[in-house]
Amino acid sequence: MAQAKNPNDASMELGKLYHARCDFGLAIEHFTDAANGYFAERNFELYLKCQNYILRMYAEREESENIRLTKERLQDLVLKEGFELNSKTYYTLGICASYKGQFDIALDYFQKSLAIALASDNKHDICYAINGLAITYYSLDRLSEALKEIYNLQVFFQVMDLRELRLSSQMLNGHILRKMKKFDQALEIFWECYDLLRAEKNLFIYINLLYSLGKTYQESGEADMARMYFKLAKKSADPENTKYLCRHIDAQLAELGVTQTEDYDLIFDPVSNTVTEKKKGKVDFKNQFILLDMLRLFMKQPGAVYSKENLVKQVWKQDYDPAVHDNKIYVTIKRLRKLIEPDYDKPRYIFRAKNGYYLNKNTKILMEQH
C-alpha cells in the first residue's frame, strides 16, 4: 500500500508553484502552513527552508517589518531549541539586506553562509553563498571581484544541475558587463538566459530578464527598445507581489519619459478634449464645452471651493444672477457627475460645500502636454 504524502510536503510544493508564478501572497500562506507543520515535527531543516522562501518574498514585497519579526523569531528559536541557522538561511538574510541597500551587512551574512557551507562540504550551499558574494561585490562596484566569484561558480555548474542559480549568476554576469559598458556582450548573455528560461517557466526570473534587457538598451542609448522591454516588464509584474522590482521599473520608465497613467484617477487630453477616468475609461466631451470648462477649472486646484459667483464668472463669463444661474449650475454639476463618476449615487470626485463646489483634494490628476 502506498504511503500517504506528508501534508507539510504538499503545502511546500504548492508554495513553490505559487512562488514561481509570482503569487507571493498565496505562496507565503502555504509555506507558513508547511513551516508550522515541520516545526511541530521538529524537522528544523525543512522549517528553515520554508522560512527562507518566506523571507525572500517579504523582501520582494518590501515588507520590512515582517522580515524583522521573522528574524526575531528565528533568533528566539536558536536560543530555545539549541539549533543553529544553516548556510542557506544566512544567504537569505544577506539577500534581504542587499534589497535594503545594506551591502556591508549583506557581505557579512554571505561570508558566514560560505563558512558554514565549507565546513560541512555542502556544495549546493557553497554555490549559493558564492552567488551572494558576487551580488554584493557587484552592488559595491567591485566588479573584478564579482566576476571572479561568477567564474568560480562556472566550475560547480559543470558537475551540478543548479539551473535557477545558473540563470541568476548569468544575469548578474550580464549586468556586470553592462556596467563595464560592454553592451553587446551583455545582451548576448541575456538572450542566452532567455533560451535557458524557456525550460524553467519562472515568471519572476522572466520579469527580471525583461528589466535587464531594458536597462541595457537604455544605457546603450536605444531608448525605444528600452521603453518596450520596461513596459513588457511592467505589464507582466504584479505591483503588490513584486513591489521592489516594480519600483525600479517605474524609475527607469520615468527617466525615459513614460507616464504611468494607471496611477491617476483623471487624465485630461487637451487635443482630443477627452478625460480618462480610472474605472470608466475614456469620456468624450465632444460639443460639451461648458462641462469641460467646469471640469478643467476644478482640476486646476483639487480641494479648492469655487463659489457660484466664481463658477459663473469663469465658466460662463457672466455676472452671477441667482435667478438665472442657480439652476444652470445645479444641472451642469449633475451632468458632469453622470459623465465622470463611476457611481453617480456615491460621488468620489465632485462635492458640494456650504458656499460652492469642489473637486476631491485626493484626486490624482494628469494634465497631458502635447
- Is residue 37 domain-resident? no
- Is residue 187 domain-resident? yes
In the prediction, which pLDDT does 259 show? Answer: 62
Interatomic CA distance for residues 64 and 12, integer angstroms: 23
- Is residue 108 domain-resident? no
Interatomic CA distance for residues 129 and 177, integer angstroms: 21
Residues 313 and 362 grouped into a single domain: yes
Final residue of a structural domain among 258, 278, 293: 258
pTM (predicted TM-score): 0.69
35 has a pLDDT exceeding 70: yes
Residues 217 and 307 grouped into a single domain: no
Q: What is the pLDDT of residues 208-239, one digit of tens each?
A: 999 999 999 999 999 999 999 998 998 888 88
Interatomic CA distance for residues 285 and 175, integer angstroms: 48
Residues 253 and 269 grouped into a single domain: no
CATH, residue 233: 1.25.40.10
Stretch 129-155: mean pLDDT: 96
CB 277 within 8 A of CB 265: yes
10 has a pLDDT exceeding 90: yes
CATH, residue 287: 1.10.10.10
CB 136 within 8 A of CB 94: yes
Residues 323 and 285 grouped into a single domain: yes
4 has a pLDDT exceeding 60: no
368 has a pLDDT exceeding 80: no
The torsion angles phi and psi of 367, rounded to 5 degrees, stand at -100, 100
Binning pLDDT at 50, 70 and 90, where does residue 1 land?
Answer: very low
Q: What is the pLDDT of residues 265-275, one digit of tens each?
A: 888 888 788 88
Stretch 64-75: mean pLDDT: 94
**Order of strands across the sheet with 266-269?**
281-284, 274-277, 266-269, 365-367
Interatomic CA distance for residues 334 and 357, integer angstroms: 12
318 has a pLDDT exceeding 50: yes
Interatomic CA distance for residues 179 and 220, integer angstroms: 11
In the prediction, which pLDDT does 369 show? Answer: 55
CB atoms within 10 A of CB 48: 21
Angle between helices 87-99 and 44-60 (to 10 degrees): 10
Lowest mean pLDDT, pick from 38-47, 143-152, 191-200: 191-200
- Is residue 195 domain-resident? yes
Residues 251 and 280 grouped into a single domain: no
For the chain, what is the mean pLDDT?
91
As to burial, measured by CB atoms within 10 angstroms (0-12 exposed, 13-18 middle, 19+ buried), residue 298 is buried
CB 258 within 8 A of CB 218: no
Angle between helices 243-255 and 223-236 (to 10 degrees): 150
Q: What is the pLDDT of residues 326-359, one digit of tens each?
A: 999 999 999 999 999 999 889 999 999 988 999 9
Question: Which residues lie across from 363 on neighbouring strands?
Answer: none
In the prediction, which pLDDT does 55 show? Answer: 96
Residues 167 and 229 grouped into a single domain: yes
Binning pLDDT at 50, 70 and 90, where does residue 261 land?
Answer: low
As to burial, measured by CB atoms within 10 angstroms (0-12 exposed, 13-18 middle, 19+ buried), residue 290 is middle
- Is residue 128 domain-resident? no
- Is residue 71 domain-resident? no
In the prediction, which pLDDT does 113 show? Answer: 97
As to burial, measured by CB atoms within 10 angstroms (0-12 exposed, 13-18 middle, 19+ buried), residue 161 is exposed
Cβ-Cβ contacts under 8 Å for 124 (sequence gap 6 or more) = 160, 162
Question: Which residues lie across from 365 on neighbouring strands?
Answer: 266
CA distances for 8 relative to 13, 31, 248, angstroms: 9, 9, 35
- Is residue 287 domain-resident? yes
In the prediction, which pLDDT does 6 show? Answer: 87
Residue 366, classed as helix, strand or coil, is strand
Domain membership of residue 217 as a residue range: 161-258
Final residue of a structural domain among 227, 258, 289: 258
**Scanning the structure block, which residue is given the C-alpha cell 444661474?**
325
Residues 292 and 356 grouped into a single domain: yes
Final residue of a structural domain among 258, 280, 304: 258
In the prediction, which pLDDT does 2 show? Answer: 44
Number of domains in the chain: 2
Residues 252 and 270 grouped into a single domain: no
Interatomic CA distance for residues 15 and 245, integer angstroms: 20
CB 253 within 8 A of CB 230: yes
Interatomic CA distance for residues 31 and 50, integer angstroms: 5
- Is residue 90 domain-resident? no
Residues 191 and 244 grouped into a single domain: yes
